[in-house]
Every structure is written in structure tokens, then in C-alpha cells.
Amino acid sequence: MIAQRPPMGWNSWNTFGDKINDSLIREMADLMAEKGYRDAGYEYLVIDDCWSLRERDAEGRLVPDPQKFPHGMKDLADYVHSKGLKFGMYSCAGVMTCAGYPSSYDHEFVDAETFASWGVDFLKYDFCHFPETGDCRTRYQTMSMALKSTGRDILFSACNWGQHEPWYWMRSVGAHMYRSTGDIMDNYISFTDIFKSQLNNLGMSANGCFNDMDMLTVGMGGKGNVGLGKVCTYEEYRMQFALWCLAGVPLMMGADLRNLDPRYLALMQNRDLIRIDQDEECRPPYLIRKGNITASNPNPKEGEYPWREIKDASFTFFRHLSHGEFALAYVNMSDAESRIHCELVDLGLPVSSGMALEIRDVFTGEQLGKKADYFNPVVPGHDMKLYLCRLTKARE
Ligand code: GLA
């Protein structure tokens, strides 16, 4: 079965946009194999938009741009496969791709056949230039059937930006993941907005079809194709990666792996985080509480208080993992340090249960021992705490 767990890989769009070519993709394949990404689980290497010529050939087939891909796609796919990776490509449900290249509306079957003949294992399928008269659900269904008709196992990554509430129906048309939001930009506001927009849809994701909150910008540092606004700090990127793992969604890296800061390599290969993301039960996190944060207001203007209330800024989550483990997260989306409260009764452990949680900090590895009754860590602004826990008796 395809996509038993949230798909993992690398996609060219966030960093390279239209500046893609054969040698770049081969270099990424080498790095994914040599630098531990493949062994950590990142298996799909995906070429996004801008790989083809502007016209189909005489038989109506898509043609790779010979300047960018002089050896053709089959040769490149063979190379990617030789590195123990899977090969992904991109098309679109509309009449042109987002960047204006030919796309698959009314060419679904011939294009699926072409992709299969090249050895493609993953198709990202976008939604630009979709005709007013077209029916979105039916057309995704058409491409899904076209991919199946090839007889090749091809992961169908439907990119619909959350239009037409895809969380309700993408699983039913055979998609293996579906983009649920607009494009991520490489800044803090963008990824936190994306995460918050999906709070009600985290459960619309499980084995075989996952909510896709878009490719990661972790480690991009403002460089590349989606840099906009303030560059993220290490803690902010760590929050992005940890939130995606907590949500159990696809992990498609977007940074330039050729010069990625080793801290981000370590973060995106962190075994505990990946284990949480890939947990076999694929359960969504349980939102314990969304709360406000009260922070000081040191120089109040007239009529203001010496404190300020920041709305919907703290989030506590609890996620059931397999084999008796749990993840517990405290997220501070405000700019002010805050103690974030969690009474264990709110996650189903009243004092009368006599139970406690044995807690380990995922980011530091520190064993924090047993917590009963409550656990209220201090969390800096724009940061989060993530713990792995097991149930234990409060007194033994
Ligand atoms: C859309 C998608 C992006 C990317 C671009 C390519 O904006 O949402 O992820 O694929 O198109 O043009």
C-alpha cells in the first residue's frame, strides 16, 4: 500500500522555483543518500513546476526541457532509483501549470502513461488555471484513475490549496495526500497560520491519505523562491518541524541540501521527531487547550494596562502514539515568554487516578521524571516544548 505513513522527501520548489536542471537533481539525490536523509525516511525526490517545454510534441505528449534535462526523465529517474530513492514529478489539473507550462486537463491518461514510462513514483498535481466549467472532484478522480490505469504504483499528491474542502473527499478519490492550504512562505507568520488553519482538520488524515500542510521551509534562511518577510530563528524552524511531526503530516523538505546548516540537518533527522510523525497508528494530536497569554506591557501608553493579553497564543496538545507512548506539546505563538498550564486532569488523568506521566524532553533528551496533578513549563516566545511520555503510578 502506498503512503502507509506520512510521505517524506524533498521538493525543488521552495528553493529553486524554475531554476531546476538534471545535475541539480542528481546532486540532491546524492546528498539525500550520503547525508543520512534517505536512511532517516526521506524517500521521494520530487521535481516541481517548470521542467517541461512550453508545447507538447506532435503526439500530444509532455516534453522535458532539453536545456534543463538533456538526458530526459527516464535517465534521471534511473539515477534517482539507483540511490535507493523514489522519483516524483509535477503536473496540474488545469489547462496550464501555475508557472504557465502545459498541464494535464483533458490529457490525464496520456500524461499518466508518460510519467509511468519514465519511472515516476509520485505525482504532485496542482490546481492552477482550472476551467470554470470543470468539476474539481471529478478531475482529481480522473487523474487518480489515469495513474491507476498505468499499473505502476504512483503516489498521488493532490495540491488543491484547501479549496472545495478537500479534507472531506480527497481520500475518496484515491489521493494519498492533499494540500490543505495556500503556499507556505519562509517566515514565522506563514507556517503558524497554516498550522492554525488546520486545527479542525488534523483528524482528516490517516494511513493512505494525509493532510499536506505544504513543504517545509526549515533551514532556508530566507534564501530561495519563497523567502518573504523576516527570516526564521532556529527555534521558529524547530517549531515548524515539530508541529508538522506532531500533526503527523507529510515531511517534504524544501531547503538547499547542498549547504544546509548542520543544526537543521540534525533537526530534520531527529529520530524522536520523525518517530512521532511516522507513528504507525497515525492518530491526530488532541488539542487540550487553546489559550491566551498575559505578558507585561512595560511602557503602557495612556489608557493601557501594564500588562497585555495576547489572544489564542498558547496551545497544548496530547497525542497517543503506539506502544504505550504519548507526545505532549506546549506551543507559545506569542512574542512573550510564558508559563503554559496543563492540569493532567485535562488530558484524562485526574488526581484520583493515582497515575502520573514519566516525561522526557524531546529537544534536550533530558529525563524530567514523574509529573502528576499538573505540569506547567515556561516556554519562551515563538517556541515550544515537546515531551515523550509514558503512564506510570504516581507513587511506587
Ligand atoms: C502552486 C503550488 C506550489 C508550487 C507552485 C509551482 O503555487 O501550490 O506548491 O507547486 O504552484 O508553480
Position of cell 470543470? 134
Residue type, 178: Y
- 80 CA to centre of ligand 1 in angstroms: 22
pLDDT value for 286: 97
Label residue 104 by pLDDT band (50, 70, 90). very high
Domains of the chain: 8-277 (3.20.20.70), 286-393 (2.60.40.1180)
Statement: residue 207 has pLDDT above 80: yes
Q: What is the pLDDT of residues 222-244, one digit of tens each?
A: 999 999 999 999 999 999 999 99
pLDDT value for 352: 96
| Closest by CA position to 121, among listed 161, 159, 163, 150 | 150
Query: How far is Cα 108 from Cα 304, in angstroms, rounded to an integer?
Result: 60
pLDDT value for 45: 98
Residue 345, classed as helix, strand or coil, is: helix
Element (H, E) at 339: strand 338-339
Q: Which residues line ligand 1 (CB under 6 A)?
A: 13, 48-49, 97-99, 126, 159, 161, 183
- 46 CA to centre of ligand 1 in angstroms: 13
Question: Which ligand 1 atom is nearest residue 182's CA?
Answer: 8
Q: What integer is the mean pLDDT of 69-75?
A: 98
Q: What is the pLDDT of residues 145-197, one digit of tens each?
A: 999 999 999 999 999 999 999 999 999 999 999 999 999 999 999 999 999 99
Ligand 1 pocket, mutate which of 159, 179, 184 (most atoms under 8 A from CB): 159
Residue 113 has which C-alpha cell? 502513461
Question: Which ligand 1 atom is nearest residue 161's CA?
Answer: 8
Give yes or no for a contact between 340 and 377, defined as CB atoms under 8 angstroms apart. yes
- 274 CA to centre of ligand 1 in angstroms: 25
Q: With 0-12 CB in 10 A as exposed, 13-18 as middle and 19+ as buried, what is 132?
A: exposed
Residue nearest to atom 11 of ligand 1 (CA): 98
High-pLDDT (> 90) share of the chain, %? 98
Question: Which ligand 1 atom is nearest residue 50's CA?
Answer: 12
Ligand 1 pocket, mutate which of 10, 15, 18, 49 (most atoms under 8 A from CB): 49
Residue 121 has which C-alpha cell? 513514483
**Where in the sequence numbering do the catalytic residues fall?**
126, 183
Phi and psi torsions of 251, nearest 5°: -115, 95
Residue nearest to atom 1 of ligand 1 (CA): 98
**The overall pTM is greater than 0.95:** yes
Question: Which ligand 1 atom is nearest residue 97's CA?
Answer: 12
Residue nearest to atom 6 of ligand 1 (CA): 49
Residue 19 has which C-alpha cell? 531554476
Beta strands 155-159 and 338-339 are: unpaired
pLDDT value for 220: 98
Q: What integer is the mean pLDDT of 83-87?
A: 98
Residue 349 has which C-alpha cell? 488523568
162's CB contacts (< 8 A; 6+ apart) are 179, 180, 181, 182, 197
- 184 CA to centre of ligand 1 in angstroms: 10
Statement: residue 85 has pLDDT above 90: yes
Residue nearest to atom 8 of ligand 1 (CA): 183
Give yes or no for a contact between 390 and 324, defined as CB atoms under 8 angstroms apart. yes
Ligand 1 pocket, mutate which of 10, 11, 12, 13 (most atoms under 8 A from CB): 13
| Closest by CA position to 197, among listed 208, 184, 206 | 184
Question: Which ligand 1 atom is nearest residue 124's CA?
Answer: 10
Label residue 2 by pLDDT band (50, 70, 90). very high
Give yes or no for a contact between 125 and 92, defined as CB atoms under 8 angstroms apart. yes
Give yes or no for a contact between 332 and 379, defined as CB atoms under 8 angstroms apart. yes
Indicate the average pLDDT of the chain: 97
Query: How far is Cα 297 from Cα 305, in angstroms, rounded to an integer?
Result: 7
pLDDT value for 308: 92
Lowest mean pLDDT among 208-212, 216-220, 235-239, 295-299: 295-299
How far from each other are the two terminal CA atoms of the chain, in whole angstroms? Answer: 44
Residue 54, classed as helix, strand or coil, is: coil
Phi and psi torsions of 91, nearest 5°: -150, -165
- 60 CA to centre of ligand 1 in angstroms: 24
| Closest by CA position to 194, among listed 247, 272, 253, 259 | 247
Query: How far is Cα 208 from Cα 157, in angstroms, rounded to an integer?
Result: 11
Give yes or no for a contact between 103 and 60, defined as CB atoms under 8 angstroms apart. no
Element (H, E) at 86: strand 86-92
Residue 260, classed as helix, strand or coil, is: coil
pLDDT value for 396: 77
| Closest by CA position to 213, among listed 2, 1, 7, 4 | 7
Query: How far is Cα 166 from Cα 172, in angstroms, rounded to an integer?
Result: 10
Statement: residue 110 has pLDDT above 90: yes
Rounded alpha-carbon distances, angstroms, from residue 311 to 251, 290, 308, 333? 29, 9, 10, 10
